[in-house]
Amino acid sequence: MRAVVYHGANNVTVENVEDPRIEDPNDVILKITSTAICGSDLHMYEGRTKAQPGMVFGHENMGIVTEVGPGVARVRKGDRVSIPFNVACGFCKNCFAGNTGFCLTVNPNFAGGAYGYAAMGPYRGGQAEYLRVPFADFNCLALPPGDELEDDFAMLADIFPTGYHGTALADVRPGESVAVMGGGPVGLMAAYSAMLIGAAKVFVVDRVPGRLRLAESIGAIPIDFSKGDPVMQILDQTNGDGTDKGVDAVGYQAHGTGGEEQPALVLNSLVEIVRATGRIGVVGLYLPSDPGAPDEHSRHGELLFKAGKFFEKGQRMGTGQANVKAYNQQLRDLIIAGRAKPGFVVSKRLSLEEAPDAYARFDRREDGYSKVVLKPAA
């Protein structure tokens, strides 16, 4: 089959790899209909993770089941399913508690597995024609048959639940104000989720014009950080009080106004923006090691975080990979009911063969490349 293969910094190609096969009785094989490129892939693409050459990327997968292992009870051949980016077993302590992003069974390196992601276990990604899904009864989310709402459902594998998770970590309540740092697909989904929950005022901070326009189109207040300190801009628009809650949808590759990387910038901005006793949800990625970091400390994931201010303000922070399964059924049902349309972020639908060009353009945050969905089956 054809697949997107990583070869080193800024180098992915589409090539022939071995077809996946049933390796365990609980596996299914999926024919991929939609697989999205994520900001998380860009950290690997830029050589800023431990990703090894030869890896197949792709953790935002959906498709049609083509083969079913003998131990699978519920999923059937022909089912249309969305696959959470987390690989999870369903029976460990963390899975039982709903924390499927921290499964203790699937990854020898640390708690939590994913498809096609550096250090997150031996699972090949789905930017390919076919994908093997382990523990299929637990991991497959059933979708209505056919091909309706494909863009919306394609957002269920990662960014819609992840954006929602950001608001859940920050405990966003109706009527509150929320600052979302980052207007990439994840930030837009966090802002959209905050709206669904009933937040009164949602700010989205970024500098890419098309992304700020999208934020405005869903009713958020765009803040362009290239036009001045976003902390001051948001304090000005909240009577100097700051917001009730904040979401980090940027992570360690945060840029300062001058374009230089400052790994702790967004965390520290949120400590300033969010009011005393407010909460901060961090879904933007931070890593324990970063080979391309700007200084020695951040190469080991040690950042200059304003712990003193954070303590003084009595803030709370939640972090980590999103537990997609904690939200994907409910968010799917909101889509089916016509109450949520997360597919508004999708800006391009391309063939698998177009992936290398799409990676380069998305990496430059070119307008029109906010969320690219690849269509291997088309």
Ligand X SMILES: NC(=O)c1ccc[n+]([C@@H]2O[C@H](COP(=O)([O-])OP(=O)(O)OC[C@H]3O[C@@H](n4cnc5c(N)ncnc54)[C@H](O)[C@@H]3O)[C@@H](O)[C@H]2O)c1
187 neighbors 165 (Cβ within 8 angstroms): no
Residue selected from 30, 37, 38, 202 as contacting Zn ion according to rule CB under 5 A: 38
Stretch touching ligand X by CB under 6 A, among 38-46, 87-95, 270-278, 290-298: 38-46
Residue 105 interacting entry, from ligand X, Zn ion, none, C-beta within 5 to 8 Å by type:
Zn ion
Residue 202 interacting entry, from Zn ion, ligand X, none, C-beta within 5 to 8 Å by type:
none
Decide: is 155 part of the binding site for Zn ion (CB under 5 A).
no
Residue 103 interacting entry, from Zn ion, ligand X, none, C-beta within 5 to 8 Å by type:
Zn ion
Decide: is 40 part of the binding site for ligand X (CB under 6 A).
yes
Stretch touching ligand X by CB under 6 A, among 35-43, 291-299, 325-333, 352-360: 35-43
Nearer to Zn ion, 12 or 273 (CB): 12
Strands 28-36 and 372-374: what pairing? antiparallel
Q: In the window 74-133, what residues touch Zn ion (CB under 5 A)?
A: 88-89, 92, 95, 103, 105
Q: In the window 265-294, what residues touch Zn ion (CB under 5 A)?
A: none
**Alpha helix (H) residue ranges in 224-372:** 230-236, 265-273, 296-299, 307-312, 328-336, 355-363
Smallest distance from ligand X to CB 38, Å: 5
Q: In the window 68-127, what residues touch ligand X (CB under 6 A)?
A: none
Nearer to ligand X, 159 or 340 (CB): 159
Sheet strands (E) in the chain: 2-8, 11-16, 28-36, 60-68, 80-83, 86-87, 113-114, 130-133, 141-142, 177-181, 201-206, 221-224, 243-248, 274-282, 316-319, 348-350, 372-374
Decide: is 183 part of the binding site for ligand X (CB under 6 A).
yes
Residues in contact with Zn ion, shown as a per-residue x/- string from 45 to 84 under the rule CB under 5 A: ---------------x------------------------
Decide: is 323 part of the binding site for ligand X (CB under 6 A).
no
Using alpha carbons only, give the angle 376, 378, 32 rounded to the nearest 5 degrees. Answer: 40
Q: Tell me the DSSP string of 306-341.
A: -HHHHHHTT-EEEESS--GGGTHHHHHHHHHTTS--
Decide: is 20 part of the binding site for ligand X (CB under 6 A).
no
Nearer to ligand X, 42 or 170 (CB): 42
Using alpha carbons only, give the angle 13, 377, 138 rounded to the nearest 5 degrees. Answer: 95
Smallest distance from ligand X to CB 180, Å: 9
- What CA–CA distance (Å, rounded) separates 156 from 172? 20
2 neighbors 16 (Cβ within 8 angstroms): yes
Q: In the window 343-372, what residues touch ligand X (CB under 6 A)?
A: 365
Smallest distance from ligand X to CB 158, Å: 5
- What CA–CA distance (Å, rounded) separates 247 from 166? 6
Q: In the window 244-283, what residues touch ligand X (CB under 6 A)?
A: 249-251, 254-255, 265-266, 283
Angle between helices 328-336 and 159-169 (to 10 degrees): 120
- What CA–CA distance (Å, rounded) separates 346 from 367? 12
- What CA–CA distance (Å, rounded) separates 290 from 301? 7
Residues that bind ligand X in the complex, under the rule CB under 6 A:
38-40, 42-43, 158, 162, 181-187, 205-208, 211, 225, 249-251, 254-255, 265-266, 283-285, 321-322, 365
